[in-house]
């Protein structure tokens, strides 16, 4: 038992040290927000010569009167509905695939996964033309529509895998007790799926938040720009790039994500009382 | 009894209702672009001009004439074989270590996830370049151990592994999924194993791995899928160089499409990638059947 | 009163002329014609009375898309605002962004017909768009009544943005290849005189040797594979052969195998003699040489770059730099270098308000106030007005102006066309890198590349 405890301590020390190492690049980036360009590229020192917050102040002002407040609001206007719709629709679709045996299920599931396999570059332009014919260019519809319709095979597949890890007897027995299939889904499976649903929501939040290509393509007006677009506005080969500003804003834009992850983890890492239900 | 089965079957048909949103989404949002790109792969489409049918010409050029294709194909596979196992093993190890009670574990988990948050940003790509340059931190550490300095990103042998390291560093998403799966492993299984006098390795092998195998399997499929299409990090850091040693297939296809305006040719490359991933996925599905443990006893 | 009658008369005449090439409904065209001419006439006479004469204008919204950094965005938006004050019925929606993904977005937009009315366009992309056969852009010469092109040098316009008899693009500035060097270090090393005089290719090797022998950590030049094609390979061949890299009319290569081998051997000698640091140490900074720590700390004395990237490069290291003359070989058949532009502005054919777009561009290029705001955010202005205003405001100092001045001394043959499309450019830089890395001999690299060049040319026939 004692040996076990020492092992435990050693493991704790290792993961802490490794964690700090993992974080080094991020720390560097944070400290770079206080540096001049010459310091960033010309010196190996980690600490800045002085703590100059102008990168944050100037950076937040954005470009041409549009500040980061606008970019943040726009981003949340896209991200929050997308996350809610995605989790709702993908879990329904996943339920359909995981718990029902209907003719053509396997080919359909393969079809679903296969839509992830074609590189985006060649679908981009036909899809742009299609969405344009729906009148969706320069609106947020290209983000909402796929979320509402559950066309995120990654999440459907992921939720199917989690659902298949839950004993079928659970919802089966609920069904026999007179619940409808939807009721069984909401009352029995959803609570058990909480960690998976939260991770799906978290990933969708982060990926939509960081997505550059789709906002670039579908959003034209500067007032509708998202953070990911704003972060690249200063980057241009033909001008002196204010890296402290760029890094400062990159750092600030990640703070909501860090907070989200930190505070949401109790949901997706909490143990679920499935003991005794299996086998 | 018979009656019950048919009502059971009728109930099964309800599955269509649940997958209906996706089906509509697929037909309305995805199908047309898919068919178009498939058709383009048999044409000389250049985006600006209307496509002219050219039969198998694109595919023949790709396999027999284009000297870059096989190089890119090889580079992409090396990238995949490094990053997929690298990421999954890292994710699994860290998830196991994080799946415990310890002071500040929440903070630690966040720390391990942060690289995945920042991953795509230009700042990180720049930093990566600075860290691996000849006077950078990495060479400094090597020097401290008396090892020779390397031109990490300028050398054809080390550029690709350097890019792979950056990708593996971002194992956070897989880690989160593994963590969620680990939390779902019933504790009584471990207790039962303890009673049998099983050691840590036995428990890991006989309880943990089977229990989280659906999620490992999912990660293998998805990471392979992503790796075979990847190009962003390599594009920002090395632009495919030096001497095409990091010229991933995804990057080649992107340049053919948007720099050279050879959309037809790019579509052909895409469908080759598609076919490759499809074959790998089907093989993985076949190989996994019986090895991945599902509570529904493989009844899918 | 008299003035008003005259202006209405003129307007109606011009309006009749204008409808020949006008777009949209006749009524709308009429109205906008009216407006533009009225304001033109009044602007010429008395700007103050203008607003009172602007009656009954239906609002017009234009979109203007460009890429570039913060300064460019701020200045361009300021000009848009000034223009909107002058013409309150016109609104211009700015759509600006990073160069990252710009080309992809533009391509998607052009293929779907959703592009902005006014578009900033990469010089290298234009031949592809124009040769596609699709009719995307307006010819500025069709609107010479709205936009005054007389402030541009006629020859410059003909070389920049002029395709198949149409002025599809207007150059945004003057640009070209630049060779900059650290003047303090040059003094110290006793090479200042050499660098300030006329240079030829061999002299560069000599000076480079001297620098590297004096201090083995120092190199005369830094250059990446992209610049190696534009600043060394193509100019060298142009001077050697008198032909452009590819001869567009015949779809042939403008050089022989031996000439290509000679050029590649020259490039190899740059590395072998320590004129340039090893390719493996510079290649990871491809297209961002100014972020190379060795550049910032002054280990590299000089750089081949564009006139438009000279300033960021100089500011990155903070040392003192001067513009050197560009190398010309003895008995050159062509200057090899020339002055062109960093990007074009084009007007989309799909635009419903071409007239207003042209009015804006007229203001953008020819108005002194606009020129003062824009300064050199798109390089040294191409118009005499712009240059005059920038000179008066002291904006034409420094390395940007110096390098442009040098560049303007060379009258090499323009290579816009097959030679500058991205596909052969990639083959060129691959070929150079194979030699630079010692992967292939110049002979082998030339032979292999010639096959690829031929494939490319065959596909263009």
- The ipTM assigned to this model is 0.87
pLDDT for A89 equals: 95
Whether B49 maps to a domain, the answer reads no
Are C433 and B255 within 8 A, CB to CB?
Answer: no
The answer to the question of residue A20 being in a domain is no
Rounded to the nearest 5°, which phi and psi values hold at C137? -120, 155
Q: How confident is the model at residue A270 (pLDDT cuts 50, 70, 90)?
A: low
Residue in A22, A145, A243 closest to B29 by CB: A145
Q: pLDDT at position C264, please?
A: 96
For chain B, 300 residues long, give each residue's pLDDT as a single digit of tens: 444 556 667 778 888 999 999 999 999 999 999 999 999 999 998 887 788 999 899 999 999 988 889 999 999 999 999 999 999 999 999 898 888 777 778 888 888 888 888 766 667 777 777 788 777 778 888 888 888 888 888 888 889 999 998 889 889 889 988 988 888 788 888 888 888 888 888 888 888 998 899 899 999 999 999 999 988 888 888 888 788 999 999 999 998 988 888 899 999 999 999 999 999 999 999 888 878 888 766 667
Is B29 close to A105, i.e. CB distance below 8 A?
no
Is some CB atom of chain B closer than 8 A to the CB atom of A136? no
**A135 at the B interface (CB within 8 A)?**
no
Q: Is B48 a member of any domain?
A: no
pLDDT band at C147 (very low <50, low <70, confident <90, very high): very high
Domain that holds residue A96: 52-273
B242 to chain C: nearest residue by CA?
C283
In a domain, B150, yes or no: yes
DSSP string, B186-249: -HHHHHHHHHTT--HHHHIIIIIHHHHHHHHHHHHHHHHHHHHH--HHHHHHTTT-STTTT--H
The SS3 of residue B81 is: helix
* pLDDT tens per residue across span B166-214: 889 889 889 988 988 888 788 888 888 888 888 888 888 888 998 899 8
SS3 state of residue C163: strand
How far A130 CA lies from chain C's nearest CA (Å)?
A: 9
pLDDT on residue A172: 78
- Cα A131 to its chain centre, rounded Å, is 23
Chain C CB within 8 Å of residue A239 CB: yes
Residue B25 inside a domain? The answer is yes
Q: Cα–Cα distances in Å, from C24 out to A32, C63, C356?
A: 53, 17, 12
Give dist(CA C288, CA C278) in Å, integer: 16
Cβ–Cβ below 8 Å for C426 and B259: yes
A15 occurs within a structural domain:
no
Domains, chain C, with CATH or none? 2-18+52-174+341-407 (3.40.190.10), 176-339+421-460 (3.40.190.10)
CA B48/CA C129 separation, integer angstroms = 7
Cα angle B224-B227-B229, degrees, rounded to a multiple of 5: 110
Please give the average per-residue pLDDT across C444-460, as a whole number. Answer: 92
CA distance C282 to C218: 13
B195 and B110 housed in the same domain: yes
Is residue B225 one of the residues assigned to a domain? yes
B29 and B64 both lie in a single domain: no
pLDDT confidence band for C56 (50 / 70 / 90):
low
User: Residues of C with CB below 8 A from B47's CB?
Assistant: 107, 110-111, 132
| Sheet strands (E) in chain A | none
A213: exposed, middle or buried (Cβ count in 10 Å: 0-12, 13-18, 19+): middle
Residues B28 and B128 in one domain: no
CB A59 within 8 A of CB A230: no
C-alpha distances in Å from residue A152, one per residue of A116, C1, C40:
9, 68, 55
CA-CA-CA-CA dihedral for B210, B215, B216, B222, to nearest 10 = 160
CATH number for the domain including A144? 1.10.3720.10
Domain count, chain A: 1
The chains in contact with chain B, meaning 3 or more Cβ pairs closer than 8 Å, are: A, C
In-domain check, residue B283: yes
What pLDDT shows up at residue A3?
Answer: 57
Residue A32, domain member (yes or no) = no
Cβ of B239 within 8 Å of Cβ of C291? The answer is: no
Q: Structural domain of residue B159, as residue ranges? A: 58-299
Asked if B28 and B147 sit in the same domain, the reply is no
pLDDT band at C318 (very low <50, low <70, confident <90, very high): confident
Same domain, B14 and B111: no
Q: Which of A176-180, C416-420, C437-441 has the highest mean pLDDT?
A: C437-441
A43 domain-assigned: no
For B:39-68, CB contacts with A below 8 A are: 40, 47
Enumerate long-range contacts of C366-371, CB under 8 Å, 24 or more apart. C366/C147, C366/C148, C366/C151, C369/C82, C370/C79, C370/C82, C370/C83
Neighbours of chain A (3+ CB pairs under 8 A): B, C
B238-274 tens-digit pLDDT: 888 788 999 999 999 998 988 888 899 999 999 999 9
Output the domain CATH number for residue B98. 1.10.3720.10
Q: How far, in Å, CA of B82 to CA of B167, rounded? A: 10
B6 and B72 part of one domain: no
Q: Are residues B138 and B88 in the same domain?
A: yes
Task: Provide the mean pLDDT of chain A.
Answer: 86
Q: Is the pLDDT of residue C20 over 50?
A: no
Residue A24 lies in a domain: no
Q: Are residues B35 and B125 part of one domain? A: no
The end-to-end CA distance of chain A, in Å, is: 30
Domain-located, residue B51: no
Residues B33 and B93 in one domain: no
B47 in any annotated domain: no
Probe site for chain C from B132, B134, B149 (most C CB atoms < 10 A): B134
Enumerate residues 244 to 273 of chain A having a beta carbon within 8 A of any beta carbon in chain C. Answer: none
Total structural domains in chain B? 2
Do residue B4 and residue B110 come from a single domain?
no
CB within 8 Å of chain B, chain A residues 87-106: 89, 92-93, 95-102, 105-106
**Do B157 and B192 share a structural domain?**
yes
Residues A151-209 pLDDT 10s:
999 999 999 988 888 888 877 787 777 778 888 888 888 888 888 898 899 889 988 99
What pLDDT does B119 receive? 67
B124 & B75 share domain: yes
């Amino acid at each position: 038992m004692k040996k076990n405890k020492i092992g435990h301590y050693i493991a704790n020390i290792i993961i802490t040290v490794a964690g700090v190492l993992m974080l080094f690049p991020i720390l560097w980036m944070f400290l770079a927000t206080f540096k001049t360009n010459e310091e960033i590229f010309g010196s190996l020192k980690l600490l800045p010569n002085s703590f100059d917050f102008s990168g944050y102040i100037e950076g937040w002002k954005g470009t041409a009167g549009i500040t980061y407040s606008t970019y943040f609001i726009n981003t949340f206007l896209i991200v929050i509905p997308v996350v809610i719709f995605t989790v709702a629709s993908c879990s329904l679709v996943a339920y359909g695939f995981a718990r029902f045996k209907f003719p053509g299920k396997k080919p359909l599931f393969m079809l679903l996964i296969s839509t992830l396999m074609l590189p985006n570059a060649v679908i981009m332009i036909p899809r742009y033309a299609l969405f344009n014919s729906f009148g969706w260019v320069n609106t947020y519809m290209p983000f909402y529509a796929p979320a509402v319709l559950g066309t995120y095979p990654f999440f459907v597949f992921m939720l199917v895998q989690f659902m298949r890890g839950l004993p079928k007897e659970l919802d089966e027995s609920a069904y026999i007790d007179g619940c409808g299939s939807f009721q069984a889904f909401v009352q029995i499976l959803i609570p058990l799926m909480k960690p998976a649903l939260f991770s799906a929501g978290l990933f969708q939040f982060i990926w939509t938040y960081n997505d550059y290509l789709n906002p670039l393509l579908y959003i034209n007006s500067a007032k509708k720009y998202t953070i990911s677009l704003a972060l690249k506005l200063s980057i241009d080969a033909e001008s002196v790039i204010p890296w402290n500003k760029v890094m400062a804003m990159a750092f600030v834009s990640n703070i909501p994500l860090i907070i989200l992850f930190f505070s949401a983890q109790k949901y997706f890492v909490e143990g679920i009382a499935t003991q005794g239900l299996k086998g | 009894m018979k009656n019950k089965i048919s009502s059971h079957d009728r109930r099964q048909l309800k599955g269509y209702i649940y997958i209906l949103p996706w089906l509509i989404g697929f037909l309305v949002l995805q199908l047309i672009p898919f068919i178009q790109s498939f058709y383009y792969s048999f044409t000389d489409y250049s985006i600006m001009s209307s496509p002219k049918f050219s039969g198998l010409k694109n595919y023949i050029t790709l396999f027999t004439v284009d000297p870059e294709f096989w190089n890119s194909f090889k580079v992409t596979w090396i990238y995949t074989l490094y990053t997929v196992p690298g990421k999954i093993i890292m994710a699994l190890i860290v998830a196991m270590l994080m799946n415990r009670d310890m002071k500040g574990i929440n903070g630690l988990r966040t720390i391990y996830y942060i690289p995945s948050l920042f991953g795509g940003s230009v700042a990180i790509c720049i930093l990566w370049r600075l860290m691996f340059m000849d006077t950078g931190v990495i060479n400094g550490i090597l020097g401290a151990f008396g090892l020779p300095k390397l031109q990490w990103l300028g050398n054809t042998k080390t550029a690709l592994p350097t890019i792979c390291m950056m990708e593996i560093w971002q194992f956070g998403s897989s880690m989160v999924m593994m963590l969620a799966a680990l939390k779902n492993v019933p504790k009584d299984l471990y207790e039962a194993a303890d009673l049998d006098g099983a050691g840590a390795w036995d428990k890991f092998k006989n309880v943990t791995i089977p229990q989280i195998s659906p999620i490992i399997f999912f990660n293998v499929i998805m990471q392979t899928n992503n790796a075979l299409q990847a190009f962003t990090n390599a594009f920002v850091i090395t632009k495919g160089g030096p001497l095409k040693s990091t010229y991933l297939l995804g990057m080649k296809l992107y340049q053919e499409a948007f720099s050279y305006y050879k959309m037809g040719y790019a579509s052909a490359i895409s469908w080759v990638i598609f076919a490759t991933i499809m074959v790998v996925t089907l093989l993985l599905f076949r190989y996994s059947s019986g090895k991945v443990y599902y509570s529904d006893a493989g009844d899918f | 009163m008299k003035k008003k009658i005259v202006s209405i008369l003129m307007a109606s005449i011009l309006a009749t002329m204008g409808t020949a090439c006008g777009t949209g409904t006749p009524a709308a065209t009429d109205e906008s014609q009216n407006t533009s001419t009225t304001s033109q006439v009044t602007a010429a006479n008395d700007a103050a009375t203008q607003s009172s004469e602007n009656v009954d204008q239906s609002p017009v919204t234009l979109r203007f898309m460009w890429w570039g950094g913060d300064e460019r965005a701020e200045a361009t938006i300021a000009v848009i605002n000034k223009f909107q004050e002058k013409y309150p019925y016109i609104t211009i929606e700015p759509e600006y962004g990073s160069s990252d993904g710009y080309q992809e977005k533009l391509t998607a937009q052009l293929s779907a017909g959703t592009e902005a009315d006014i578009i900033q366009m990469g010089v290298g992309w234009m031949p592809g768009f124009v040769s596609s056969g699709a009719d995307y852009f307006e010819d500025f010469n069709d609107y010479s009544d709205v936009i005054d092109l007389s402030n541009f040098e006629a020859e410059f316009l003909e070389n920049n943005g002029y395709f198949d008899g149409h002025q599809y693009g207007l150059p945004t500035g003057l640009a070209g290849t630049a060779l900059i060097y650290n003047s303090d270090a040059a003094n110290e090393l006793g090479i200042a005189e050499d660098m300030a005089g006329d240079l030829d290719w061999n002299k560069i090797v000599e000076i480079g040797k001297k620098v590297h022998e004096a201090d083995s950590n120092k190199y005369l030049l830094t250059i990446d594979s992209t610049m190696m094609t534009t600043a060394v390979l193509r100019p060298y061949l142009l001077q050697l052969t008198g032909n452009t890299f590819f001869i567009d009319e015949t779809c042939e290569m403008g050089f022989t195998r031996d000439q290509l081998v000679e050029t590649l051997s020259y490039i190899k000698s740059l590395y072998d003699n320590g004129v340039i640091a090893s390719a493996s140490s510079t290649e990871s900074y491809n297209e961002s040489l100014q972020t190379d720590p060795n550049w910032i700390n002054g280990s590299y004395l000089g750089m081949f770059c564009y006139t438009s990237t000279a300033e960021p490069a100089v500011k990155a290291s903070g040392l003192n730099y001067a513009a050197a003359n560009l190398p010309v070989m003895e008995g050159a058949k062509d200057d090899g270098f020339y002055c062109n532009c960093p990007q074009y502005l084009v007007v989309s054919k799909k635009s419903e308000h071409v007239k207003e777009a042209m009015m804006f561009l007229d203001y953008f290029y020819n108005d002194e106030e606009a020129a003062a705001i824009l300064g050199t955010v798109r390089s040294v202005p191409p118009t005499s007005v712009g240059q005059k205003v920038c000179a008066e405001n002291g904006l034409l100092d420094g390395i940007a102006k110096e390098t442009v001045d040098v560049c303007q001394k060379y009258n090499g043959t323009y290579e816009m066309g097959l030679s500058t499309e991205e596909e052969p450019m990639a083959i060129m830089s691959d070929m150079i890198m194979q030699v630079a890395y010692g992967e292939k001999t110049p002979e082998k690299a030339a032979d292999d590349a010639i096959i690829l060049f031929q494939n490319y040319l065959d596909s263009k026939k």
